Amino acid sequence: MVQESPETAIYNKIHRAIAERRLLPGSRLIEDQLAEVFGVSRMRIRWVLQSLARDKVVTLHRNRGACVAEPTVKEAKEVFGARRLIEGALAREVVRATDDKALKKLKAHIKKEITAEKSHDRAMELRTSHDFHTLLAEIVGNSVLVDYLRELMARSALITAIFERPDVSVCSHFTHSRLIELIEKRDEQGLVDAMLGHLNEIESYLTLYEKEERPVDIKTIFSGL
Ligand SMILES: [Zn+2]
């Protein structure tokens, strides 16, 4: 296994704490505290916070420093609206562009999703299931759309983590396997309908998230990790 860098390890720990709602939207992420907790320099923490900000998981404020992003319900709806437009339109192209090699890749990804679903690591599970959607854009081979999808998937993963009902996962290997079956049958309209149905279903399982106003103790959250 490839050794992950200290920055990547810290990125993953913070991302996981956010996805598991141990760190709530709007919570302040103080560089000094994080540097002490993770035993690294402030420079490294700053780098991690900037990466998290690029993925829209963290918001950087000029005066307040870094905070966990607070996607609104409106933003959640807009992200899913954009996903329906792009992924719905892309579905036909996916069917046309998929060859044997691409099909193998998609099926191999299902195995990764099954492993992630068994891991009980919700952040990893969300990343893997969202990667399936980016993979479809990669098959079409339009790099502009791949970039759009990557950003959209990072935002969608955070929104799903924040707004989802506990113990409900609809973006799963099971649904994705059904999408692959339609691709294999070369059913363009079938894939368009199934993709839109899939995205509607994910959105329908999201609920309004009530923000809790309570102080956050960074040291307690990361103790024992
Ligand atoms: Zn999905």
pLDDT, averaged across the chain: 88
78 or 208, which is more confident: 78
10 Å CB burial of residue 101 (0-12, 13-18, 19+) is exposed
Confidence of residue 1 (pLDDT cuts 50, 70, 90): very low
Are 201 and 170 in contact by the 8 Å Cβ rule? The answer is yes
Distance 177 CA to ligand 1 centre (A): 10
Residue-wise pLDDT for 23-68, tens only, equals 888 899 999 999 999 999 999 999 999 999 987 889 999 887 999 9
Q: pLDDT grade, residue 215 (50/70/90)?
A: low
* Separation of CA 132 and ligand 1 centre (Å): 7
Phi, psi of 142 (to 5 degrees): -95, 110
pLDDT tens digits for range 87-122: 999 999 999 999 999 999 999 999 999 999 898 777
Q: What is the pLDDT of residue 56?
A: 81
In the reported structure, the alpha carbon of residue 210 is separated from the centroid of ligand 1 by a whole-number distance in angstroms of 25
- 25 C-alpha to ligand 1 centroid (Å): 24
Residue 5 Cα to ligand 1 middle (Å): 29
Distance between Cα 82 and ligand 1 center (Å) = 15
Residue listed under structure tokens 């035993």: 39
Two tokens, residue 125: 């599970």
For the chain, domains (ranges, CATH) are: 6-70 (1.10.10.10), 73-204 (1.20.120.530)
With a cut of 70, say whether residue 208 has pLDDT above it.
Answer: no
Q: What pLDDT was estimated at residue 205?
A: 87
Ligand 1 centroid vs 145 CA: distance in angstroms? 17
Q: Model confidence over 134-145: pLDDT tens digits?
A: 999 999 999 999
